[in-house]
Structure 1
Amino acid sequence: MSKISAVELTQKLIRRQSYSGKEKGVSEELTKFFEENGFDDVHVDKYGNTIGHIKGNRPGPKVVFDGHMDTVPVTDESEWKYPPFEAEIHDGKIYGRGSSDMKGALASMAVAASNFKEKTKGDFAGEIFIAGVVHEECFEGVAAREVSAYTNPDYAIIGEASNCNVKIGQRGRAEIKVEVLGKPAHSANPEKGINAVYKMCKVIEAIKTLRPTHHDRLGDGILELVDIKSSPYPGASVVPEKCIATYDRRLLVNETKESVLAPINELLEKLMKEDSELKVRAYYTEAEEKCFTGETIGGERFFPGWIFDEDEAWVKKVVAKLKDKGQNPEITQYNFCTNGSHYAGEAKIKTLGIGPSRENLAHTVNEYIEVSELEKVVDSYEAVMEALLL
């Protein structure tokens, strides 16, 4: 057995650049680790999700540890203090793209599972799956659907950064398009057309009057304008015939595709009754990307929110085991969207998050992860395995 530390594996993963759709190198590194460190089998699915499996000698619950392999791009390497794909260690920190979001967590999950099998000699009830997931930065939860279909888990552990605190929920995310159709005309004779941008301005002002939904723990269901584009663009000497505004909608628990669009559609219907020239509709953005396997992944950008009660027996059991290991985790929720949108939000699988590092280091120039956080979170993941499988 070729034993390497979480630090060493994190460095190996960082050195394999893995923008969304280009995760093959990380998949290869994970596969090599799984094959050399006591995993029973490895499965790479149609999207490229790479899943290592350890089976206990007795039947019991299945636990998926989820960490995405993809990262956001580096826009300008010259801005970095240290090279973003060299994984250099300085002052107790590993620098590099994906170090914090979230190759450090993924490496720690794999090492913890190997350690757990070695310490227990496989004498536990249940199964462990370490899932390196693709395309999370594009579609939170979409590739994870394939993971849960393959593993059928009872529990999912998300490794997004939490300072090793326990996260029991998150707001979800949707991307909504509001599209206005006008009538083209030469801009020298604008009265012969219908300017879609002018119409959109009134629509935007009306949407601002909508009251957000609210959850006592997760906060408001935010609806924020993030982009607006007219067509044709650039619009030289032409009255724009189309205008599309993009809204970021932060989702709360139990919100559905229908319930989220309902108040917007009701408002748009009212506006069209008041203005016979207005033609407007709202819909969810659809997108697709190519996976490194050649498969296409995509769908509507609607990723549900979720939350569990901190008094649930399984949550308390995990927290108690973490405390046994000398940790004192705060129980809270993520401020951003994760693959938990599928596991908990869609599939209703018992889900919590524990990850090394701080949330605000994700996607930053000079991204890093502290070596001490990696060492701590390996203990955290072993504690989860002990709580749920022993």
Structure 2
Amino acid sequence: MEKEEKIKILADLIKIQTVNGNEIEVAKYLKTILADHQINATIDSFGDKRANLEAEIGDKDPLNKILAFSGHQDTVTIDDEKIWIFDPFSAQIEGDKIYGRGASDMKSGLAAEAIALIELNENPHVNLNGTLRFIATAGEEYGTPGAYRLNDQHAIDDVDALVIGEPTNGQIIYAHSGSFNYRITSTGQAAHSSTPTRGINAIQGLVNYINLEEGLFDDVPEGPYLGAVQHSITVIHGGNQVNTIPAQAELRGNIRPTQAFDNNHVISKIEEALRKLNQQHDAQLKLEIIHNFEPVETPSDNKFVQLVQRSAQKSFSEREVKLKTMNGATDASVFVKNNYGLPTVILGADGIETNHQPNEYTTISSYLALIKAYQEIAIKFLK
């Protein structure tokens, strides 16, 4: 495929608006591009313009290995379009940079994966001894409905290694934290503020938890790769009228579990704290789990991680490719629920510092290098 066509595919994807939805349009576009190069793809539409896509190349012998390339089709919203240098859906090119919502996160990775599939399939000198599976998901930015649906369909169960195309500036992420979102509701008793002792202040119940939460995870073990558990209270709601003792209040928080202190341990820790607080105070607290994404850790000396690093270094020859970790979560946090211990890496193009920010961009040079890196990974893993 010519360089100009590769750039056009990325630009076309950026121009398709998939802010927290509308993935069906990207899936249709990818299906057409793949079909033009004799690769069959399947679209799984599940309403409200949401859709996943899957395609495969290789010998598809069930006795041989399966490598999966995965990426999400949705993007986050545009907070203030006036701050952008260019229209966020124009895919404007300036020098080596291409701007737009999703340019880095992660339509560059998605396009690179699709093109790698096409070029490997058309290369007469390449014979993959196994299956290369391409998976494009819906809704990664909020709730990961696409990844959960794929798990229900057992689409990842048989995979031997996984590459997620999130932006990494050409670096290798071999471990990332989980993401645990929760809500705590506090129930008290309403009363007039002139007689507060007749009521139970639900806000005070939250204050009791907030004071405890600050040091709740101080004594938990740190992981060898991801370190300490990160935790924050990020949303508080309580009270409707200034002269009424509130009977209901709630807070929400986010925690980044590690394999050393995983999601189940986090849940147990919070539930035990709430039991103690409910015994000590009148306002009663209750935990609700909103999202429960698992940590993903592959040892840095794993053969697949080392293979990916060598392959990426070959393509990104102008920079040193290092092995790193991060506290963000990806679709892999869902996929490992069905395929625990699945060797997983994240490798993507430039622009990670502009994720979810105005003037998001990636570099064309890193995007083109990424395509080569993906091909090298597939060839070496499925040799």
TM-score computed with the length of structure 2 as normaliser: 0.90
| 1:175 correspondence with 2:178 | no
Choose which of 150, 153, 168 in structure 1 pairs with 2:155: 150
2: CA distance between counterparts of 1:26 and 1:372?
Answer: 23
CA displacement at 1:346 relative to structure 2: 5.0
CA distance in 2, matches of 1:138, 1:325: 32
* 2:116 aligned counterpart, secondary structure: helix
For residues 113-128 of structure 1, what are the structure 2 equivalents within 5 Å? Answer: 113-120=117-124, 123-128=127-132
Following superposition of structure 1 onto structure 2, how do residues 249-260 of structure 1 map, counting pairs within 5 Å?
249-253=255-259, 255-260=261-266
Say yes or no: does 1:309 pair with 2:289.
no
Give, in angstroms, the shift of residue 143 of structure 1.
2.1
Whether 1:49 aligns to 2:52 is yes
Q: Which amino acid counterpart does residue 12 of structure 1 have in structure 2?
A: D
Alignment of 1:176-325 (within 5 A): 176-212=182-218, 213=220, 214-231=222-239, 234-253=240-259, 255-275=261-281, 277-285=282-290, 301-325=291-315
- Equivalent pair of 1:100/1:161 in contact (CA under 8 Å): yes
Paired letter, 1:108: A
> 1:330 corresponds to which letter in structure 2?
K
Letter of the aligned partner of 1:201 in structure 2? V
- Change in Cα spacing, 1:10 to 1:145, as seen in structure 2 (3 Å) is same
Instruction: Number of aligned residue pairs: give it.
Output: 371
Deviating more after overlay: 217-226 vs 150-159: 150-159
Q: Secondary structure at the match of 1:219?
A: coil
**Structure-2 change in CA distance of 1:356 and 1:56 (3 Å):** same
CA distance in 2, matches of 1:334, 1:42: 32
Asked if structure 2 preserves the Cα contact closer than 8 Å seen for 1:344 and 1:351, the reply is no
Structure 1 unmatched runs, 5+: 286-300
Letter in 1 for 2:184: V
Amino acid at match of 1:237: N
Contact 2:96/2:363 (<8 A) preserved: yes
Are the equivalent residues in 1 in contact too, given 2:175–2:225 (CA < 8 A)? Answer: no
- Give the equivalent residue in structure 1 for 2:11: 11
Check the 8 A contact 2:351/2:361 in 1, yes or no.
no
CA 1:256–1:320: 2 relative to 1, 3 Å: closer
Q: Cα–Cα, structure 1 residues 136 and 184, in superposed 2: closer, same or farther, change >3 Å?
A: same
CA distance, structure 1, for counterparts of residue 339 and residue 241 of structure 2: 45
Quick one: distance in 2 between partners of 1:102 and 1:385?
Answer: 20
Aligned to 2:321: 329
1:120 Cα offset (Å)? 4.0
| 2:216 partner SS | coil
| Distance (Å, rounded) in 2 between the aligned partners of 1:201 and 1:166 | 41
CA gap 1:41/1:3 in 2 versus in 1, 3 angstroms: farther
Note if contact 1:100-1:362 (Cα within 8 Å) is conserved in structure 2.
yes
- The 1-side partners of 2:43 and 2:351 are apart by 30
Deviations 1:14-41 (A, max 9, x none): 1110012222221221111111123134
1:75-94 superposed matches below 5 A: 75-94=79-98
Please give the alpha-carbon distance, in whole angstroms, between the structure 2 residues aligned to 1:87 and 1:76: 17
Does the 8 Å contact 2:99/2:361 carry over to 1? yes
SS at match of 2:245: coil
Contact 1:95 1:366 in 2 (8 A): yes
Alignment CA distance shift 1:162-1:345 (3 Å):
farther
Q: How far is 1:2 from its partner?
A: 10
Residue 4 of structure 1 deviates from its aligned partner by: 6.4
User: Deviation digits for residues 87-128 of structure 1, max 9, x if unmatched?
Assistant: 010122111101010001100111111111112466221112
Matched AA of 1:54: I
Identity of aligned residues (%): 24
Relative to structure 1, the CA distance from residue 4 to residue 109 in structure 2 (aligned partners, 3 Å threshold; closer, same or farther) is: farther
Q: Cα 1:15–1:305, aligned 2, differ >3 Å: closer, same or farther?
A: same
Worse-superposed segment, 127-136 or 143-152: 143-152
Q: Which residue of 2 aligns with 1:27?
A: 27
More displaced 10-residue stretch of structure 1: 316-325 or 17-26: 316-325
> What's the offset of the Cα at 1:334?
2.6
**Partner residue in 2 for 1:351:** 344
Cα shift at 1:159: 0.5
Change (3 A) 1:3 1:208: closer
Report 1:134-145 matches (<5 A). 134-140=138-144, 142-145=145-148
- Please provide the CA RMSD for this pair: 2.3
In structure 2, the partner of 1:387 is 380
